[in-house]
Amino acid sequence: MTEAGNTFKDVVCTFCGCLCDDIIIETEGEKITKNTNGCAISKERFVGHMENRCLQPTVKGSAVTLEKAIERAVEIIASSKRFLIYGLSSTENDAQREAYRLAELAGGVVDNTTSVCHGPTILGAQESGETTASLAETRHRADIVIYWGANPAAAHPRHIPHYIRQPGEYIKDPKKDRQIWLIDVRETTTARMVDRFIKINPATDLEVIETLRALIRGTKLDVVEVGGISIKDLEQIATTMKTAKYGVLFFGLGLTQSFGRHRNIDAAIRLIQDLNAYTKWGLMPMRGHYNVSGANKTSTWVTGYPYAIDFARGYPRFSPGEYTAVDMLARGEPDVLLNIAADPVAHFPRAAVAYLAKIPVINIDPKFNMTSQLAEVNIPAAIAGIECDGAATRMDGLPLYLKKVIEPPEGVIPDRDILRMIIKSLEKVMK
Amino acid sequence: MEINGVPIDDTFAEAFSMHMNRTIITAYDEDWARTTALETTGFATSVIMTPSEAGIEYILKPDETPDGRPGVRVIFATGSKDGIREQLLARLGQCVLTSPTACAYDDTPDVAETYPVGKMIAMFGDGHQVKKGPIDGRTLWLLPRMSGTFVIQESFGRTKGVAGGNIIYFCKDVESGMASGKAGVKAIEKVEGAYTPFPGGLVGSGSKPSSRYKVLHASTNERYCPTMKGIVPDTFVPKDCDFVVEIVINGLTEKAVAEATKAAILEVCKHPGVIRISAGNFGGALGKYKIHLHELGL
Amino acid sequence: MTVLLSLKQVPNIPIEADSITPTAFAGKTLAQIGKLVVMQGRNSCELREFFEITGESADSVEETEIVIRGDLRKVKQIGKGMNGGRIRIEGDVGMHLGAEMIAGRITVTGSVDAYAGAEMSGGNIQIEGNAGDYLCAGYRGSPDGMKGGRVFIAGNVGNEMALHMRKGFIAVKGNVGAMAATRMKGGSIIVCGELGPRACIEATKGMLFALGKVSSLPPTFKYSGSSEREFTGYYIRYLKSRRPDFLQSDISPSEKWAKFIGDFAEAESKMEIYTRLVLNSHLAS
Amino acid sequence: MSSGSVKVRLVSGRTLSQGRAMEKGKITQEYEDAVAICELGSKTMEALGIENGDIIVVKAALGKINVKAKLDKNLQEGMAFIPCGPYFNYLLDAYTQLTGMPGFKSLEATINAAPGAKIPTVKEITQMMKEGVK
């Protein structure tokens, strides 16, 4: 593992779905001293990996051994009727696989953070399929790139500089040969990085997309403006999209979380499908957590479904809105929550958090997070991609190997090993 | 037997079975529904030389029709099974589809067989036709046309009905004959299940089922012709009679035909100048139904 | 003959009671019915653990009527896949009521949660209260929603009603939420109250009658004239014959209806929306 | 000084500092500073009579929360932005339209100046959510 001079090259950054794999990490003893090439967030992630760390397992706030913590976790799970596992987006593929095993064993529900980020993207794809691309293809071929409801400047800082504003095989000059557009309801920092910013009215994404689809078909419509854009401008946008050589549409939570949710994505997918009748287009969700894409992939390999899976009947069942974490919590359904590699207390609506506070919570995370404050059992974990190896999936579906660059703190083990310990002792209890 | 002093012969009308369909025609107002119904049942008096026997059976109030508009119920009758399908196709296609605002719904009781006539007519929609339902027991086809949308039920039924019921009566003159005849037909319109296929419901040329010419199956029945009473020795026409009227009554059931016969006799007998009422038959050789005038409960 | 189920107490964790169907009950004694399986979380339980079971069971499905009482909001999947007989629910009820129903009749005096009548292919559902999201919708990823049957809702309905509807009839007395009849490709819907935004997005075929106000329609729908319509009366009369209480006032057959056609984002654009011109003149231009 | 209240459509999303602070750790001052803010356009700030860094109270159907106002001169009138995190979620209802996804991108809210008011810490807000304080 160790490379000469404690310098690690081509390290994959485990912050966002970009999984930039050109990071150079330098370590000295037990400290990471330098992150070269990484974005500001990446630097914080690597260099600050020991900040705010949870180093000791606790049960009801008291420090215990790892074995004791596991024992208590197993007790809680074994006595539950409706067990919910949530999280999994900030960990590696093997840990995810163990989580599905645990859910199956305990007859529980397993949901990942997809349900509050790109869940609607998957619902859209389930209705209409996917016309996708890879980031490399985009870089080498795309003469137009559109971001819709995405703010990479804040959430994926190197997306534009590392993948898009780069010369490629057929795009010699990324400034001249490639157009970058942004469509959003807010003039974000990203708006200043692109060639054209198109502002649309909030909650009109679906109308704008459907209008573009109709215009691309060559249909004349009755309306004079949609979402604050004149039909003339929309016609021009449609024409540009139709006449592009190779286009890629990246979309973010501005599309998945706004009015319409999965319907917006379904429409966007069909827009891209329509465009493929004339030229080549692909689309890609701007996945947030570095391995949320992987959570969907591993879940689908193992269970057939990407998230919101119930094993209560022994076989997997899929029902977003019913087995998704926010809905289950808000409806007061689960009697135990195992949270791993996510922070529902920080990211869930109040009612869900209020219910979560009433049930036993087992929290597995490398750092103190908001959920730790409410958890009965806290188990620290090693940070994948820094303190242990693994695999993760980039936003375009490409799996990448995560390197271990430093030893985890004393007694702290990877997520997958914690889950295996739980499974092992639960197997004994359940039999 | 006498009604209002008019003698009723102790005889019977001889009727036979035919294949029938009953259809509701609706339109934006009652007058137009009737106009459409008259056109649709036009040229359909006697199977001797028209393709069908058809007529208005009943006038419906708006709340009695499937679409809440004024409507008229009509019945079509043919000798052959397939004739029903052909006649519906031609008549609904040419006379209802073409009539602005008019629509057609099947209303045949005791259906023996159905034909996808509506579906075929809807092909006029040239791909713009839409199938709806079943709703309220019907599958409908909607097709765009200049007046809006033509609505036609997908299938139309065939049932066995009764044709050839009749009364023949003798009048003093044209005025008394026509006035009583028109009133008699109006009375039959109020009887559900029966209709009168001839022009305005009246027959001016009663026929006998034979002819001296080989090409003809029927010819004028000279025994009922007032102008021939001098030379036809076995004439039925009384001395003071110069006008003979026949009302031919078809219906879905023998009972409906009998009801209608009764209603017509009661009405006709109210009119001055009506001398005597009889009915036509062939001695029971032709049809399986005998409607005895004295057994109508007059 | 009627079997009466009374919920003993509201379960803390929802139960899945897809065994409550006339088909499952027919030919069984009350004791046998009590042993039918319901799921609570991962636990397989018996019906009698949750319900007091009285009344008289019948031999055939057709003769079987099930009356259920109590706060059933945490009871899911009642009447799922039902094929004949009757279920009467006195109170509110949870998700998936009558989902995948084939035949029979369900009446509910209260309100129902999401996915009632989802992917049903026949039968009749009457709900006197409100219905949640995805009424008569297709499940996730399914290209086919409701394929037949009749559904009448006396209250309001949530979002994405009739998603992927192919056939059948839905009438709503109250208001309908956003994105009703999305990707509809057949069937008929009557909305007596207000129709929510984005109705019929990506719909390719079918008919929707909006008897109340429509604040907006998708921009990809086109106005196609106002006139009296030969068949609107047909549907109105049908509704009136079944549920006269759904119509606040009489609608004359000579009333004018504005027609909208779409969705022009799609290759096939034969979805028809009819709105009463007198309430929706702002849409017609 | 105006003390009017302003109606806004409240949106949440990622910010760079929220991302950095989250990576550092949620139980840190940096995280609180990064997410306990509300970005407003200059006209909105003018209407409220406040300046960059002043405390405001954001009210929605579910409750109200004190946060620090932050100027985003590009933000149009009628819109406000709170980075994704507990301060926004405190106002958010759990209805997901049966998709699993709450309505992070459109919350009707009103904003008032709240000079001198205290911003709850991350720990305090956890407690508030737990107890369901209005």
User: Do B166 and B143 share a structural domain?
Assistant: no
Contact D50, D113 (CB under 8 A): yes
- What is the pLDDT, as a whole number, of residue A430? 85
The answer to whether position D46 is within a domain reads: yes
Confidence of residue D1 (pLDDT cuts 50, 70, 90): very low
Residue D78 to residue B175: CA distance in whole angstroms: 86
- What is the pLDDT, as a whole number, of residue A354? 95
User: Do B212 and B151 share a structural domain?
Assistant: no
Residue D18 to residue A328: CA distance in whole angstroms: 27
Comparing C-alpha atoms, which of A331, A348, A147 is closest to residue A247?
A147
Beta bridge partners of C112: C93, C131
What is the token pair recorded at D58? 């954001």
pLDDT in tens, A202-260: 999 999 999 999 999 999 999 999 999 999 999 999 999 999 999 999 999 999 999 99
In sequence order, the 6+-apart residues with CB closer than 8 A to the CB of A232 are none
User: Do B22 and B10 share a structural domain?
Assistant: no
What is the token pair recorded at C109? 């005096």
Contact: D79, A116; criterion CB under 8 Å: no
User: Do B62 and B147 share a structural domain?
Assistant: yes
What is the average pLDDT score of chain B?
94
Whether the predicted pLDDT of D2 surpasses 60: no
- What is the pLDDT, as a whole number, of residue B188? 96
User: Do B228 and B170 share a structural domain?
Assistant: yes
* DSSP reduced 3-state for C212: coil
User: Do B121 and B241 share a structural domain?
Assistant: no
Taking only residues 87 to 146 of chain C, the set having a beta carbon closer than 8 angstroms to any beta carbon of chain D reads: 114-115, 132-134
Residue B24 to residue B18: CA distance in whole angstroms: 20
What are residue C69's phi and psi, to 5 degrees? -120, 150
User: Do B143 and B82 share a structural domain?
Assistant: yes
What is the average pLDDT score of chain A?
95
The domain total for chain D is 1
In sequence order, the 6+-apart residues with CB closer than 8 A to the CB of A424 are none
pLDDT in tens, B184-218: 999 999 999 999 999 999 999 988 888 999 988 88
Residues of C in contact with B28 (CB under 8 A): 228, 253-254
Choose one of B103, B136, B159: the last residue of a domain.
B159
Comparing C-alpha atoms, which of A88, A55, A108, A89 is closest to residue A426?
A108
Comparing C-alpha atoms, which of C73, C84, C85 is closest to residue C116?
C73
Burial-class residue D48 by CB neighbours within 10 Å (0-12, 13-18, 19+).
buried
User: Do B186 and B81 share a structural domain?
Assistant: no
Residues of D in contact with A197 (CB under 8 A): none
Residue A345 to residue A342: CA distance in whole angstroms: 9
Residues of D in contact with A188 (CB under 8 A): 74
The answer to whether position D1 is within a domain reads: no
Q: B100 to chain C: nearest residue by CA?
A: C230
Per-residue pLDDT of chain A (431 residues; tens, 9 = 90+): 444 558 999 999 999 999 999 999 999 988 999 999 999 999 999 999 999 999 999 999 999 999 999 999 999 999 999 999 999 999 999 999 999 999 999 999 999 999 999 999 999 999 999 888 999 999 999 999 999 999 999 999 999 999 999 999 999 999 999 999 999 999 999 999 999 999 999 999 999 999 999 999 999 999 999 999 999 999 999 999 999 999 999 999 999 999 999 999 999 999 999 999 999 999 999 999 999 999 999 999 999 999 999 999 999 999 999 999 999 999 999 999 999 999 999 999 999 999 999 999 999 999 999 999 999 999 999 999 999 999 999 999 999 999 999 999 999 999 999 999 999 999 999 87
Place of tokens 């009950």: C25
User: CB contacts < 8 Å between B and C, how many?
Assistant: 55
| Residue D50 identity (one-letter amino acid) | I
Confidence of residue D104 (pLDDT cuts 50, 70, 90): confident
Q: Do B and D count as touching (3 or more CB pairs closer than 8 A)?
A: no
Residue C272 to residue C259: CA distance in whole angstroms: 7
Contact B44, B52 (CB under 8 A): yes
Does C223 lie at the interface with B, CB-CB under 8 angstroms?
no
By Cβ distance, the residue of A226, A312, A322 closest to C219 is A226
Domain enclosing residue B71, as ranges = 18-159
Give the distance between the most distant pair of CA atoms in chain C.
Answer: 65
- What is the pLDDT, as a whole number, of residue A3? 47
Choose one of B159, B187, B222: the last residue of a domain.
B159
The answer to whether position D113 is within a domain reads: yes
Cα angle B68, B72, B78 (rounded to 5 degrees) comes to 135
- C-alpha distances (whole Å) from B130 to each of A125, B93, C259 are 30, 17, 15
Contact: C253, B69; criterion CB under 8 Å: yes
Contact: D101, A326; criterion CB under 8 Å: yes
By Cβ distance, the residue of A257, A350, A372 closest to D90 is A350
Residues of A in contact with D19 (CB under 8 A): 15-16, 41, 154-155, 157
Place of tokens 């990085």: A193
| CA distance, residue D60 to nearest chain C CA (Å) | 21
In sequence order, the 6+-apart residues with CB closer than 8 A to the CB of C18 are C77, C78, C80, C81
Q: Which of C230, C239, C273 is most worth mutating to test chain B (most B CB atoms within 10 A of its CB)?
A: C230
What is the token pair recorded at A43? 């630097």
DSSP H or E segment with residue B250? strand B243-251
User: Do B193 and B281 share a structural domain?
Assistant: yes
What is the token pair recorded at A2? 């160790």
The domain total for chain B is 2
Comparing C-alpha atoms, which of D19, D81, D13, D34 is closest to residue A254?
D13
Q: Which of B17-31, B149-163, D94-108 has the lowest mean pLDDT?
A: D94-108
Neighbors of chain C with 3 or more C-beta pairs under 8 Å? A, B, D
Please give the full DSSP string across B73-93, using - where no structure is assigned. EEEEEESSHHHHHHHHHHHII
Neighbors of chain B with 3 or more C-beta pairs under 8 Å? C
Task: Work out the average pLDDT over B58-76.
Answer: 95
Read off the CATH number of the domain in which B195 is found: 3.30.70.520
Domain enclosing residue D44, as ranges = 6-131
Does D97 lie at the interface with C, CB-CB under 8 angstroms?
yes
User: Do B214 and B242 share a structural domain?
Assistant: yes
- What is the pLDDT, as a whole number, of residue C248? 84
Task: Work out the average pLDDT over B31-49.
Answer: 94
Contact: A263, C140; criterion CB under 8 Å: no
- What is the pLDDT, as a whole number, of residue A29? 85
Structural domains in chain A, CATH included, are 54-116+290-382+412-430 (3.40.50.740), 119-285 (3.40.228.10)
Read off the CATH number of the domain in which D21 is found: 2.40.40.20
User: Do B231 and B154 share a structural domain?
Assistant: no
Q: Which residues of chain C have pLDDT under 70?
A: 285
